[in-house]
Structure 1
Amino acid sequence: MGDDVEVENAELVPYLAELTSTEPESLLNTLLYRTVATGGGEVIQKGHSANEANYARDACAKAFYERLFCWIVARINTVIEVKNYDARIHGKNTVIGVLDIYGFEIFDNNSFEQFCINYCNEKLQQLFIELILQQEQEEYQREGIEWQHIEYFNNQIIVDLVEEPHKGIIAVLDEACLTGGKVTDTLFLESMNARLGKHPHYTSRKVR
């Protein structure tokens, strides 16, 4: 079945290849095949199944977007960079940084990709809390500046729930992936429930 997968609109391939400065044949290979190393050291091409081809298509589009995005930011920084930079004269050098992420989302079934997106958002929220709320208010207090105290939820406990070594969700996932035999979503969920079920900010469909 994998060898029978074809691009539905083949006439678009040369157009996409021109836009991405690639050879049409190379683009087709990326979409329809994967390179596999055999036990004997031989490298062969194996055709994708329909699901694998869909995944390869999406991954290819994301790679194009990521490289174009980084190229645009790099070009802007090259243009606005202070030439012959001297910190004593120019102070801070001028650069632009662009953060492009999705917002928090909750679905009936979150994918691992969505988990990573939400985790990134939690980290950014924690950075914002530390730099804008916590440090600024501590500085006001040190300098005796009158200000209106802002109450906020410090989400470090959420970040730790995800990334804490040997205890967090990522650590549990690593352990599950190293376990012999077939690892399923259900087994992973049961492992998290057993390890994290008593955490005040952890819930699952089985321990709500």
Structure 2
Amino acid sequence: MRADSLAVVLAGGLARRMGGGDKPLRLLAGRPLLAHVLDRLRPQVPVLVLNANGDPARFAAWGLPVVPDGLPDHPGPLAGILAALDWAAAQRSDLPWVISVPGDSPLIPLDLVTRLHAAREAAGVPLACALSAGQTHPPIGLWPVALRQALREALAAGERKIDRWTARHGIAHAEWPALPVDPFFNANAPEDLAAAEALLQPAGVDPIQDGTGRSSP
């Protein structure tokens, strides 16, 4: 576990391709997508929060802080990340780093947090994001709380693209293999849920490697 970081699950999107509603509450193998994501994150950080808009009661079963966007009209994941950075600054000043993960990514690796930090430290830059199969995954990233004001100003100026903003400040990439399964598979449409279920073994164990060669739980 990385004791200096908290993780935010980004659950504030509109889920248009999924038909609307709360995508993280859709079922995968009989459990909400969100439950799978949280199971993967819990061993990695001491604090978890959700970024979601609207009535927080629909997430009450998980007993986690629900942090809404501070900006109107669903401006995208950068707004959710800023909300988490502000929450960390106000509530957990002992945690100077935030890890962001979308609520539709049920197979994230168990070494996500440590490897994002290692990539950032090796490159000497303040930010890091995940990479697999030659593709970056900007919403799956590592963010310093110290940059929250710079992010706030960028959002106020109309910035919405994660990778354009991170490039200004310096970002490292931590790469994972995409075989046998891409650990950053995300469920955008109903058919993706069926595909994800096919990736899960009957015992609830998936084939994602945790970076040590062992199969992760």
TM bucket (normalised to shorter chain) is: under 0.3
Structure 1 or 2: more helix by fraction: 1
Q: Report the TM-score, using the length of structure 2 for normalisation.
A: 0.26
- Structure with more relative contact order (C-alpha pairs < 8 Å, separation 6 or more): 2
Q: Report the TM-score, using the length of structure 1 for normalisation.
A: 0.27
Say which one has the larger Rg: 1
Structure 1 or 2: more strand by fraction: 2
